[in-house]
Amino acid sequence: MPSLKSIRKRISSVKSTQKITRAMKMVAGAKLNKAQLRITELRPYAVKVQEVLWEITRDAVTAAAAAVAADAAAGTGAEGEASALTGSDGAPHPLLVARPERRVLLLVLTSDRGLCGAFNTNINKRAEREWKSRTEAGQEVQLAIIGRKGRDYFNRRSAPILEYLPGVWDKLSLETAQAVGAKLLAPFNKNEIDAIYLVYNEFKSAITQTVVVERLLPAGGPAQEQKQEQGGEGGHASPSGATSEFLYEPDKGALLERLVPMYLDISILRALYESMASELGAKLTAMDAANKNAKEMIDSLTLEYNKARQAAITKELMEIIGGSEALKE
């Protein structure tokens, strides 16, 4: 049986740990309230931007598919698709033109710190499966990583890391999302990659986060489709179920010049906010569980301490009684 001194030291150590986990739980809870408010305010705006972009490009994509089928023999289908995505008023927008996905970039969003349960493990394993499955399919996959946990995980596996973006979580803002977007756009605009996918945790509640793989570029309908497949939602129909008709002034091309960069920045910002809220929710849950485990351990050690003390007292009493009886003889 351990000595009383060693049990007291263990109880003191666990109590110190419990103070830390309790403080971290309170901090995570306070930050989570702000993060939840931030993401609930941004979500409707981000969803509406996606809906407007899809409304503008939906008919064009349908027309492009018909043009590709009609012009397949002439070999002009790809050009017809690119032109249709901006209408007949201007040149095709480079962020809307779909390409065969031979070279893919995965933007993986992890945290800089641990103590948040399986938050980072779930993202890293999902991104690793995506990387390996696409590689087996003959695609060239590269990774752009936010967060030290993701960087360390994929460095150990000798993954093809194109870009590591440090310091993103220190100051989350639209400017930060724009800086991340600029880093991703550079190889995309140079035709060094054909598609960009986001891998992040979508916030549901403090105890539930869902890993999402969402196509970011090329933008438009296909990106929304990928998101809905992952989230288990319906098709591309508008909320009313009817196709809306709009008048565009001056034209679709001019609108897309403003809307597509806005979609890119808002989509990245939403993913960052979702990931931050998910991390705080996972940390809150993990620290709550650690706090409960510490309490149970303290109770168990206290019981063990009392038993050991009782045994020591009983032993001393037996020795005293034995000595007294010996003196009587």
Q: What residues act catalytically?
A: 116
Q: Whose structure tokens read 């087996």?
A: 136
Q: Is the dihedral of CA 180, 181, 182, 185 positive or negative?
A: positive
Peptide bond preceding 44 in cis form (omega within 30 of 0): no
Residues 144 and 105: beta-carbon distance below 8 Å: yes
For 280, phi then psi, to 5°, come to -65, -40
Pairwise CA distance, residues 37 & 33, whole Å? 6
Q: Where are the alpha helices (DSSP H) in 137-210?
A: 148-156, 174-189
Q: Where are the alpha helices (DSSP H) in the chain?
A: 4-70, 77-84, 119-136, 148-156, 174-189, 221-231, 252-328
Contacts of 25 (CB under 8 A, 6+ apart): 284, 287, 288, 291
